[in-house]
Amino acid sequence: MSTEKLWQGRIQSSCAEILNEFNSSLSFDINLFQEDIDASIIHAEMLAKQEIITIPEFETIKQALLEIKKEISSDIKQWLNDHCHEEDIHMAIEKELTNKIGDIGKKIHTARSRNDQVITDLKLWLKKEINIVIELLKELEKTLVEKAAQDIDIFLPGYTHLQQAQAISLGHFWLAYKEKFSRDISRLEDSYKRTNINPLGSGALAGSSFAIDREYTTQKLGFAAMTQNSLDAVSDRDYVCEYEFCISMIMLHLSSLSEEMIVWNSQEFNFLEISDDFATGSSMMPQKKNPDIPELIRGKTGRVVGVLNALLITLKALPLAYNKDLQEDKEMLFMASDTTKKCIKIAIEFLKNIKANKEKMLASLESSFCGATDLADYLVKKGLAFRDAYKIVGTLVNQCITSQKKFNDLSLNEFQACSDFFSEDIFEILKIENSVDSRNIIGGTSRLQIQSQINKEK
Positions marked catalytic: 161, 282
| Inter-residue contact 300 to 336 (CB < 8 Å) | no
Residue type, 123: K
Q: How many whole angstroms separate alpha carbon 54 and alpha carbon 280?
A: 63
Q: Name the amino acid, one letter, at 211.
A: A
| CA–CA dist 426, 405 (Å, integer) | 16
Angle CA 423–426–429, to nearest 5: 155
Could you give the C-alpha distances from 251 to 56, 255, 282, in angstroms and in order? 50, 6, 27
In this structure, what are the phi and psi dihedrals at residue 207, rounded to the nearest 5 degrees? 90, -150
CB 308 within 8 A of CB 245: yes
**What single string gives the DSSP state of each residue in 357-416?**
-HHHHHHHHHTS-TTHHHHHHHHHHTT--HHHHHHHHHHHHHHHHHHT--GGG--HHHHH
| Distance, CA of 406 to CA of 419 (rounded, Å) | 17
Angle at 244 between CA 241 and CA 246, to 5 degrees: 110
Provide DSSP, 20-46: HHHH--HHHHGGGHHHHHHHHHHHHHH
Cα dihedral: 84, 90, 96, 100 (round 10)? 180
Are 217 and 200 in contact by the 8 Å Cβ rule? The answer is yes
Which residues, at least 6 apart from 421, have a Cβ–Cβ distance to it below 8 Å? 379, 382, 383, 384
Task: Give which of 40, 211, 22 is closest to 118, Cα–Cα.
Answer: 40
- C-alpha span between 174 and 117 (Å, rounded): 44
d(CA 392, CA 41): 77
